């Protein structure tokens, strides 16, 4: 079989972990990363193109005869990298611009869930600040305010009282700290329960589920400190048993995939609902149109199946014939961050001692 040239778009630990897993496939010839990082450099070749430079990426992929492109972060997906690449005849894994709205617009996701009875928190949509402010005066607390658009994970706030809610609403809709992403908001019921990440890969009809995982968003131990991009993650989740997985697949994943197809935006790629396990069952907090970071790191440590073969079957619409097989046991990822993170911090620091790690069960991404 012909060996393939792969391009991974992204620059995080997630993309390094994906590249590491792909590099073990006998089907791989060479992996490029755009822009990659100092870890991915050891797996292939880093290319100095940013994730949102879609035309440049396509030119590179054409020139270098790339056989398959895998996209890590949401930004290029929401900008329409998949539509653009497909028009150029390139093979790429990910949802189209319209299907990516499931992450790119909280309002799109909420309306879809209501229309197709997918369990989620009760909500109201506001496009007018004064109406939203009025609502905050007569409703009950706690509640959750969410900017409609992408805000690098900072557009959501759980508000314990009216004062906190009014302040956050002003930041979004009046001061516009996230620009147009915060001009429209969702105000929703605050749910309680354990949060889990549930990722599947789908060709628009069938899907395969990854192990459930859990990430840790707060900076410090014991859920203290500010929210971050994720300080660590582990899989599988001990309190998510086979029955619960089946329920999530039946009540959330399957109806979402068929809803998107019915809406004329059939979804291909990774679909990742962030779930909260309430007393009344699993409910969707948000959808992501990509792999989670850092959840992907432990998942790639556990994955036994050839990820590239899975991606290829997705492209051919033959996922149904495949299986995701995982190793026994568990994996945990701990993020080391520079002092000052998630605020301002010094960049370019050197990590020492990686050569001392000889145990194959430990990977540094
Ligand atoms: P999101 O931006 O939707 O991913 O939300 C970020 C975080 O806010 C989630 O991981 C939850 O911890 C919290 N959150 C979001 N929506 C709700 C909700 N309806 N109830 C309780 N917590 C929520
Ligand atoms: N770990 C959360 C996310 O990737 O959105």
Q: Is 292 in the pocket of ligand 2 (CB under 6 A)?
A: yes
The whole-angstrom separation of Cα 245 and Cα 81 is: 31
The whole-angstrom separation of Cα 199 and Cα 103 is: 14
**pLDDT value at position 101?**
98
Nearest by Cα to 287 from 95, 126, 128: 95
**pLDDT value at position 178?**
96
The whole-angstrom separation of Cα 185 and Cα 31 is: 40
**pLDDT value at position 349?**
87
Q: Is 121 in the pocket of ligand 1 (CB under 6 A)?
A: yes
CA dihedral (357, 214, 294, 232) positive or negative: negative
Q: Quick one: tokens of 92?
A: 């790429």
**pLDDT value at position 264?**
97
Ligand closest to CA 294: 2
Ligand closest to CA 123: 1
**pLDDT value at position 1?**
78
**Which mutation among 273, 276, 293, 295 tests ligand 1's pocket best, with the greatest number of atoms within 8 A of CB?**
276
Backbone angles phi, psi at 289, to 5 degrees: -105, 30
Distance 330 CA to ligand 2 centre (A): 19
**pLDDT value at position 132?**
98
In this prediction, the residues of the chain whose per-residue pLDDT falls under 70 are none
Q: Is 293 in the pocket of ligand 2 (CB under 6 A)?
A: yes
Please tell me the pTM assigned to this model. Answer: 0.96
Distance 333 CA to ligand 1 centre (A): 22
Residue 348 CB contacts under 8 Å (≥ 6 apart), including other chains: none
Q: Is 67 in the pocket of ligand 2 (CB under 6 A)?
A: no
The whole-angstrom separation of Cα 72 and Cα 92 is: 11
The whole-angstrom separation of Cα 101 and Cα 149 is: 9
Distance 123 CA to ligand 1 centre (A): 13
The whole-angstrom separation of Cα 194 and Cα 169 is: 26
Q: Is 103 in the pocket of ligand 2 (CB under 6 A)?
A: no
**pLDDT value at position 266?**
97
**pLDDT value at position 228?**
86
**pLDDT value at position 192?**
96
Name the residue at shortest CA distance from atom 2 of ligand 2: 292
Name the residue at shortest CA distance from atom 5 of ligand 2: 292
Atom nearest to 156 CA in ligand 1: 2
Atom nearest to 190 CA in ligand 1: 20
Q: Tell how strand 92-93 and strand 68-71 pair up.
A: parallel
Which residue shows structure tokens 């992996």?
Answer: 31
How many alpha carbons fall within 13 Å on the CB side of residue 57?
Answer: 32
């Amino acid at each position: 079989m012909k060996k393939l040239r792969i391009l991974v778009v992204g620059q995080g630990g997630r993309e390094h972990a994906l590249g590491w897993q792909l590099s073990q496939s006998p089907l791989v010839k060479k992996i490029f990363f755009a822009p990659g990082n100092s870890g991915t450099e050891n797996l292939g070749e880093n290319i100095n193109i940013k994730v949102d430079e879609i035309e440049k990426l396509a030119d590179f992929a054409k020139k270098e005869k790339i056989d398959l492109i895998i996209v890590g972060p949401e930004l290029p997906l929401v900008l329409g990298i998949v539509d653009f690449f497909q028009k150029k005849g390139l093979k790429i894994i990910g949802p189209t611009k319209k299907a990516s709205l499931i992450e790119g617009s909280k309002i799109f996701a909420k309306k879809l869930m209501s229309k197709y009875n997918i369990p989620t928190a009760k909500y109201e949509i506001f496009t007018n600040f004064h109406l939203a402010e009025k609502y905050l005066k007569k409703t009950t607390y706690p509640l959750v305010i969410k900017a409609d658009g992408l805000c690098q994970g900072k557009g959501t706030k759980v508000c314990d009282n009216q004062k906190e809610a009014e302040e956050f609403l002003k930041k979004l809709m009046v001061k516009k700290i996230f620009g147009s992403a915060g001009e429209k908001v969702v105000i929703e019921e605050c749910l309680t329960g354990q949060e889990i990440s549930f990722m599947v890969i789908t060709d628009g009809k069938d899907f395969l589920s990854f192990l459930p995982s859990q990430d840790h968003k707060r900076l410090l131990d014991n859920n203290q400190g500010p929210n971050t991009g994720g300080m660590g993650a582990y899989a599988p989740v001990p309190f998510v048993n086979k029955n619960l997985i089946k329920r999530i697949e039946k009540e959330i994943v399957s109806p979402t995939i068929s809803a998107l197809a019915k809406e004329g935006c059939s979804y291909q790629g990774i679909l990742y609902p962030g779930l909260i396990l309430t007393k009344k069952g699993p409910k969707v907090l948000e959808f992501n149109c990509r792999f989670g970071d850092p959840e992907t790191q432990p998942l790639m440590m556990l994955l036994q199946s050839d990820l590239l073969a899975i991606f290829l079957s997705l492209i051919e619409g033959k996922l149904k014939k495949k299986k995701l097989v995982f190793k026994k046991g568990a994996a945990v990822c701990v993020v080391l961050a520079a002092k000052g993170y998630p605020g301002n911090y010094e960049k370019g620091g050197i990590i020492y001692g990686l050569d001392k790690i000889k145990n194959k069960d430990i990977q540094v991404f």
